[in-house]
A and B are shown apart, each in its own frame.
Chain A
Amino acid sequence: MKHVLRTSKLLLSVTALTVVTVISLTQSSVAEGSAKKKIGFSVYDMQYGFFQEMEKGTREASQAAGYDYVLVDQKSSESTMVSATQDLINQGISALIISPFKPDALGPIVDAAKEKKIPVVIDDIGGGGTDYDVIVISDNEKGGVLAADYIDSVLRSRPNNSKKVASITCEPSAVYAARRNAGFETRIKELGYQVVTTLSGNSRQEEGYRVTKDILSAHPDVAAIFSGNDPMAVGAAQAVADSGKSGVKDVLIVGFNADEIALQAIKAGQMGATVQQVPREMGKMTVDLATKLMKGEKPDYSNAANREVYVPVNLITAKEADALLKK
């Protein structure tokens, strides 16, 4: 047992030494302190192209503004989202930008940031009902309006089309995506069309297919369908094709997201168009907002009640789809 005892003593002395070193280091690091402001970005998951683009925008804007830039990856895990972002906050950042994997778990992060008086800018996904400073999202409503205008411009040039359109929504809990359909429906009614039905495809391709089949049998003369995301739009295009019609010439289909499957479908003439979100611009916007917040200024909200700022979206038709696919 003597040896074990001796090792324990050794272990204790090593621990003591560590503590001493650590304390001296803490002192020195406190003394050092840099004047340069530091932006911390906690990204959803760098495996996805959308977030790679968002990160690029955030990084470029931070560097252009002369900030230090620090990134952590949540790797699609709730637990990592909180622990990695906590690591970020502990590094003495001046502003936190986060695209949360689970907005519901934002509570401890926002509380920790507020305790250190660090402004919190949320990039997309959702705010989880927390006390964040501002949230940046795509202008979903405008995207719906763009889709409505496009549908009108195409149908207007056709001689004997019906004035009937349908709308397919994402899953009910996706509150931001629901605005796409709301924007679309309001605008298309203004343009003199009738929305014959609004059905949920739960954001999924196969359900988009199924509800489109239902729409086609209930309203065979429907002239256009707007879908809240691209997987459902592609499902709708398949359903239209299976009914022996064209997703461009007979029932004009428009999606949202500019996913690759949709761009391929547009290129192949199976659907008309989609609406593109611009994550890079969203990233840039978050840095601009962080700058304002660090100066103690109030951001120019697009929607002050929910502290939202919108980033513009683009309409993608066959011409642009081709260019995007080549990229």
Chain B
Amino acid sequence: MRILQTHKSRIPDAPATGSSINQVDWDLLWERFGTAVVTITIWLIAGLSTPRFANVDNFVSVLRQSAFVGVSAVGMTFAIIAGTFDLSVGSTQALCAWGAVSVAKVAGVFPAFVTAVALGGVIGLCNGSLVALVRIPAFIATLGTMFLVNGLTYILTNGQTARFSGKPFVWWGNAQVMSLPVPFVVFLGCALLGAAILHRTSFGRFIYAIGCSREAANVAGVPVAKTTILVFIVVGLFTGLGAALLGARLYSAGPGLEPGFELNVIATVVLGGTRLAGGRGSMLGTVAAAILFATLANVLNLSHVDAFVQRVVVGFVLLLALSVEGVRQRLAEYWSKRAARIPQSSQPL
């Protein structure tokens, strides 16, 4: 089970070795807190440069907006740590949100959320089975379900939007508790739950193990297929929950709810410091990245950036998000090389 230790063993124990070299593992620190620090820095800059940014209403809407991508990103963090990903979350979101709104209209809030989460879970089960049992690569399998679910949604909805503005339902998307928007509170709850599962259960350890090395995990007796299926189900469940919240926010849902949603979710997770190749990642990063993206969209609107330029900026940030990992790895290599050099040079002394 050595592979399970690699992650933890990177944390320097910092015993008093008498060495004057600062042994802080910057790579790990960046992975854990980098995005949070960047987010706070951006808030500071935005607060100073954009007059309308620093007011309570605006913070509330930024946090609210972060939740809709965020809840799904909590699930996606599981998938990406396990070394896989799910492209079907955008279609799943539209179907689940439509399901939630339609059910809320006839049966009330609780059945609506159950429907959305269950629909998400079923799609996740399909994805997981295709990847783990039929052995279709995740890219192709989830691309397939993306089209399938999207088409299905158009057939079921007949291209029309479902609308429902019952107060108990839209409360979940629009209200505030203790001046925090409800979807954001749900998002934080999901992230805490996700972190607990990742770090406190054997399922969580299996996910890290599979992400580090599938073969090694298999040899070590990790139930790879079962874990993979469960991971996709988790993605579906969280996406379903996020979709129900979005349906409540919009008072409505239909096909084509949020174009490019799946890429926003994946970008959020990667920007949050989770390694796209799997094996490493944290929930804190995902939460911070979700807030960061929502802040970015908000600041662009507030500073009246031209609509076309906004597209460029968002594309640029997506690229940046995806190159952060590579740059970080290069930095890590540099640091470890440097660390390796120093004892050598100190040997003659």
Report whether B48 and A25 are in contact in the complex, using a CB–CB cutoff of 8 Å.
yes
Question: How far apart sit A266 and B257, CA to CA, in the bound complex (Å)?
Answer: 37
A149 within 8 Å of B (CB atoms): no
A299 within 8 A of B: no
> What CA separation (Å) do A25 and B246 show in the bound complex?
31
We find that the number of chain A residues with CB closer than 8 angstroms to chain B is 47
Residues of A within 8 A of B310 (CB): 73
> Which positions 170-190 of chain B face chain A at CB distance < 8 Å?
170, 173-174
The reply to whether A46 and B65 form a contact with Cβ atoms under 8 Å apart is no
Q: Does B227 contact A (CB under 8 A)?
A: no
Interface status of A269 (Cβ within 8 A of chain B): no
Query: Which listed segment binds B: A15-23, A228-236, A239-247?
Result: A15-23
Task: Indicate whether A18 sits within 8 Å of B40 (C-beta atoms), given known contacts A70-B304, A78-B258, A86-B61.
Answer: yes
Residue on A nearest B68 in the bound complex, by CB: A79
Which segment of A102-110, A185-193, A253-261, A313-321 sits at the interface? A102-110
Determine whether the beta carbon of A82 is less than 8 Å from that of B250.
yes
User: Contact: B254 with A78, CB < 8 Å?
Assistant: yes
Q: Is the CB of A91 within 8 A of B302?
A: yes
Chain B: interface residue total (CB-CB under 8 A): 56
CA distance A111 to B23 in the complex (A): 55
Beta-carbon contacts under 8 Å, A295-322 to B: none
How far, in angstroms, from A71 to B25 measured CA to CA in the complex? 45
Question: Contacts of A32 on B, CB cut-off 8 Å?
Answer: 51
Q: Bound complex: CA of A3 vs CA of B29, how far in Å?
A: 9
B258 touches A108 (CB 8 A): no
At the interface, yes or no: B32 with Cβ under 8 Å from chain A?
A: yes
Using known A-B contacts A91-B52, A108-B250, determine if residue A75 contacts B307 with beta carbons closer than 8 Å: yes
Q: How far, in angstroms, from A55 to B226 measured CA to CA in the complex?
A: 54
The docked-state distance in angstroms from the alpha carbon of A129 to that of B161 is 13
User: What are the interface flags for A18-52 relative to B under an 8 Å C-beta threshold, 1 for contact and 0 otherwise?
Assistant: 10011001100110100000000001001000000
Asked whether A18 lies within 8 Å of B170 as measured between CB atoms, the reply is no
Question: Are A107 and B54 neighbours in the complex by a CB distance under 8 Å?
Answer: no
Interface string of B301-312 (1 = CB under 8 A from A): 110100110110
**Chain B interface secondary structure, helix, strand, loop or mixed?**
helix
B211, chain A: closest CB distance, angstroms? 22
Q: Which of A71, A87, A111 counts the most B-chain CB atoms under 10 A from its CB?
A: A87
Is A88 on the interface with B (CB-CB < 8 A)? yes
Contact with A along B50-78 (1 / 0, CB 8 A): 01101111100100010010000000000
User: Which residue of chain B is the closest to A74 with respect to CB atoms?
Assistant: B307
Is B307 in contact with A73, judged by CB distance below 8 angstroms? yes
Q: Is the CB of A11 within 8 A of B29?
A: no
Q: Chain A residues with Cβ under 8 A from B252's Cβ?
A: 78, 102, 104-105, 107
Known interface pairs A22-B54, A72-B301, A108-B170. Does A7 touch B33 (Cβ–Cβ under 8 Å)?
A: yes
Say yes or no: A104-B249 contact (C-beta < 8 A), given A4-B11, A18-B40, A25-B47. no
Closest 4 CB pairs of A and B: A73-B307, A107-B251, A25-B54, A104-B161
Sample 26 A-B pairs with CB under 8 A, ordered by A number. A3-B12, A3-B14, A3-B24, A7-B33, A21-B44, A21-B54, A26-B55, A29-B55, A30-B55, A46-B308, A73-B310, A75-B259, A77-B258, A78-B252, A78-B258, A87-B61, A90-B52, A90-B55, A91-B52, A102-B161, A105-B161, A107-B170, A108-B170, A108-B174, A108-B249, A111-B174
